[in-house]
């Protein structure tokens, strides 16, 4: 069985690469901490696969979160502290999983990769 974690970021915020990288890192850790130990162990043993995808805005991100939770997947939102580029409390990223790849793909399979 394959496992992965998906991080979804908002394309409308136009964050610098450094800021975006930090938000993705925060999301990955939050998702890891919220996940089931058995799934985390399997994910770690399989190489800790991570994929970063994008959505156009907050509304689309919240819809993806809703769909993921409906599938029983762990989610975690990143809300920025607002110390640099964006206002405090801005939702920047969403972690989904880690979990079984096929379960996550049912929710995120249509989202574009962040390039």
Which residue, 23, 2, 35, 1, is CA-closest to 114? 23
Q: Topology of 3-108 in CATH? A: Bit1 (3.40.1490)
pTM (2 d.p.): 0.96
Which residue, 104, 106, 115, 114, is CA-closest to 6? 104
- Indicate the domain borders of the chain: 3-108
- pLDDT of 1 reads 92
Q: Which residues pair with 91 in a beta bridge?
A: 79
**Residue 60 half-sphere exposure, CB side, CA atoms within 13 Å?**
14
Q: pLDDT tens, position by position, for the chain (115 residues)?
A: 999 999 999 999 999 999 999 999 999 999 999 999 999 999 999 999 999 999 999 999 999 999 999 999 999 999 999 998 999 999 999 999 999 999 999 999 999 999 9
- pLDDT of 67 reads 98
Q: How far apart are CA 87 and CA 58, in angstroms?
A: 14
């Amino acid at each position: 069985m394959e496992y992965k974690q998906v991080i979804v970021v908002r394309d409308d915020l136009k964050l610098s690469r450094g800021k975006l990288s930090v938000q993705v890192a925060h999301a990955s850790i939050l998702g890891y901490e919220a996940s089931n130990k058995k799934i985390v162990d399997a994910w770690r043993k399989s190489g800790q696969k991570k994929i970063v995808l994008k959505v156009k805005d907050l509304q689309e991100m919240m819809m993806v979160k809703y769909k993921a939770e409906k599938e029983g997947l762990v989610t975690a939102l990143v809300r920025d502290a607002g110390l640099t580029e964006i206002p405090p409390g801005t939702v920047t990223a969403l972690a989904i999983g880690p979990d079984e790849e096929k379960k996550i793909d049912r929710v995120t399979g249509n989202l574009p990769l962040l390039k």
